[in-house]
């Protein structure tokens, strides 16, 4: 029996050119059954073009599940045989590149924790010399477009022609709505600088939770992204890594049906320039509001402290210090003193209101 005849097989190049390009699969390959069942259920949606699975997992802290390693690669090979879906794996070292290619992985990606390190990126790039394989490069964990660009340049210099970008958000200290702050304006700027490279959104690692995946995916599509990489699992809550953000293939199917797919308007170039600038403003405004909300949460904590120690909300010296610093900084940044005054007044009054609620609750 020739399994190749059972399923529609797109070449990797055909898949690479799909728009929107949809890549899905578990955060980590865990067992052969899990990989195969995920692949079959994703294929059944008819909406997924490639199967992702982490084989080697870079973990922030030691002791968590670090991936099954090379023994998982034949599972992916089998999944591809059964479903026709090209496979995608994260690589961080020359040995991982070698193993992935040995087991016919179709698409490689460089993870956010690797993009930050030029030594590692160079090692991966050197291992790719003379190979024809598409490579997706995730943004570095820190908001630094030069590092992201450097990784693209290193991989391109190694002779890789099919390079794509994945926006997975940026680490920030403290709790926010997101696991990794999207900082959309950075991805928009990276897209602008690399108009020939596809930009794919990874809402799973931006969100870190299921309930806002669809909204973030929609946002990226509204920003003319070229595709989505979304983590899926047959039993998400039992996943060995990133359980909170994974969804079943069926939920993915539903989500993809609900997304409004957009086309880029191309016949009115002037309007589209304006639209793009406005989009950037909208996203910066959105981020400013997120930051302000974060600031108020800290003010709340200060309110709790003040209540417990019975001190006044208003501390005039502290307030003068904030204003003085603001004026100086504003001047350096080209913002008028009048604006700084109004801005800090508004922020301060909101903080006081927040603390008032806490102190008198
Ligand atoms: C992943 O895709 O599972 C992963 C580890 O992502 P990132 O590099 O974005 O953290
Ligand atoms: Mn993950």
Q: Locate the ligand 1 atom nearest the alpha carbon of residue 168 and give its number.
A: 9
Nearest-ligand number for the alpha carbon of 113: 1
Neighbours of 75 (CB within 10 A): 23
Rg (CA), the chain: 23
81 neighbors 3 (Cβ within 8 angstroms) = yes
Q: How far is the CA of 252 from the centre of ligand 2 (A)?
A: 16
Alpha carbon of 195 to those of 104, 190, 191, 227, 322: distances in Å?
29, 8, 6, 15, 42
pTM score over 0.75: yes
Report CA(196)–ligand 1 centroid distance (Å). Answer: 24
* Distance in Å from the first CA to the final CA of the chain: 73
| Percent of the residues in the chain that have a pLDDT greater than 90, as a whole number | 76
Residues of CATH 3.20.20.70 domain(s) within the chain? 3-258
Q: Which of 205, 231, 244 to mutate to test the pocket of ligand 1 (most atoms within 8 A of CB)?
A: 205
129 closest CA partner among 100, 168, 161, 174: 161
Residue 4 has pLDDT above 60, yes or no: no
- Residue 155 burial by CB count (10 A; 0-12/13-18/19+): exposed, middle or buried? buried
Q: Which range is least confidently modeled, 44-48, 54-58, 63-67?
A: 63-67
CA of 161 to the centre of ligand 1 (A): 23
- Of the listed ranges 8-22, 34-48, 305-319, the least confidently predicted one is 305-319
Q: Determine the pLDDT at residue 140.
A: 98
CA 109 to ligand 1 centroid distance, Å: 9
Cα(167)–Cα(156) distance, integer angstroms = 18
Q: Which CATH superfamily is domain 3-258 in?
A: Aldolase class I (3.20.20.70)
Whether the pLDDT of residue 175 is over 80: the answer is no
User: Hey, which CATH number is domain 268-359, 2.60.40.10, 1.20.59.10, 1.10.287.470, 3.30.43.10?
Assistant: 1.20.59.10
Work out which ligand 1 atom sits closest to the CA atom of 112.
8
pLDDT score at 99: 98
Contact 174, 161 (CB under 8 A): no
Among the bound ligands, the one closest to the CA of 201: 1
Atom of ligand 1 nearest to the CA of 166: 9
CATH 1.20.59.10-classified regions of the chain: 268-359
- 259 CA → ligand 2 middle, Å: 22
Of 113, 117, 147, 179, best ligand 1 pocket probe by most atoms within 8 Å of the beta carbon: 113
Q: With residue 2 as reference, give the H or E element that holds it.
A: none
Per-residue pLDDT band at 172 (split at 50, 70, 90): confident
Mean pLDDT of 43-64: 94
Which pLDDT band, with edges at 50, 70 and 90, does 5 fall under? very low
For the stretch 196-215, pLDDT in tens is 999 999 999 999 999 999 99
Say if CB 29 and CB 52 are below 8 A apart.
Answer: no
Atom 4 in ligand 1: which residue has the minimum CA distance?
A: 111
Task: Check whether 3 has a pLDDT greater than 50.
Answer: no
Residues with beta carbon inside 6 Å of ligand 1?
A: 27, 54, 90, 111-113, 138, 168, 205
Highest mean pLDDT among 155-164, 183-192, 341-350: 155-164
pLDDT band of residue 133 (cuts 50, 70, 90) is very high
Distance in Å, CA 319 to ligand 2 centroid: 43
In this prediction, residue 162 carries a pLDDT of 98
- Choose one of 29, 51, 54 to mutate for the ligand 1 pocket test, by most ligand atoms within 8 angstroms of C-beta: 54
Query: Model confidence over 146-167: pLDDT tens digits?
Result: 999 999 999 999 999 999 999 9
- What pLDDT digit, counting tens, does each position of 253-263 carry? 999 999 999 87
CA angle 152/261/151 to nearest 5° reads 5
């Amino acid at each position: 029996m020739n399994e190749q005849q059972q399923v529609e097989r797109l070449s990797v190049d055909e898949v690479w050119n799909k728009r929107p390009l949809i890549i899905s699969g578990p955060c980590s390959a865990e067992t052969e059954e899990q990989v195969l069942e995920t692949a079959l259920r994703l294929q059944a949606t008819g909406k997924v073009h490639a199967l992702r699975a982490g084989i080697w997992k870079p973990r922030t802290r030691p002791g968590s599940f670090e991936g099954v390693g090379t023994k998982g690669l034949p599972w992916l090979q089998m999944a591809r045989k059964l479903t026709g879906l090209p496979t995608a794996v994260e690589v961080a070292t020359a040995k991982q590149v070698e193993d992935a290619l040995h087991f016919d992985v179709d698409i490689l990606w460089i993870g956010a924790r690797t993009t930050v390190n030029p030594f590692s990126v160079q090692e991966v790039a050197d291992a790719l010399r003379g190979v024809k394989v598409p490579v997706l490069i995730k943004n570095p964990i820190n908001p630094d477009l030069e590092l992201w660009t450097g990784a693209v340049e290193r991989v391109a210099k190694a002779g890789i022609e099919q390079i794509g970008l994945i926006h997975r958000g940026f680490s920030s200290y403290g709790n926010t709505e997101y696991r990794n702050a999207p900082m959309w304006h950075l991805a928009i700027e990276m897209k602008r600088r690399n108009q020939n490279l596809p930009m794919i959104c990874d809402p799973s690692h931006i969100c870190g939770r299921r309930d806002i995946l669809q909204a973030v995916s929609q946002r990226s599509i509204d920003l003319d992204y070229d595709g989505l990489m979304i983590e899926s699992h047959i039993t998400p809550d039992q996943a060995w890594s990133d359980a909170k953000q994974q969804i079943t293939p069926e939920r993915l199917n539903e989500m993809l049906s609900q997304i409004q797919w957009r086309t880029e308007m191309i016949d009115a170039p002037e309007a589209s320039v304006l639209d793009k600038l406005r989009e950037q403003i909208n996203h910066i405004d959105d981020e400013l509001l997120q930051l302000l909300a974060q600031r108020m949460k800290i003010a709340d904590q200060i309110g709790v402290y003040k209540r417990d120690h019975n001190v006044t909300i208003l501390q005039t010296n502290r307030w003068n210090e904030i204003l003085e610093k603001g004026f100086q900084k504003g001047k350096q940044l080209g913002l008028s003193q009048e604006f700084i005054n109004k801005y800090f007044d508004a922020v301060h009054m909101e903080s006081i209101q927040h603390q008032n609620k806490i102190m008198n609750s």
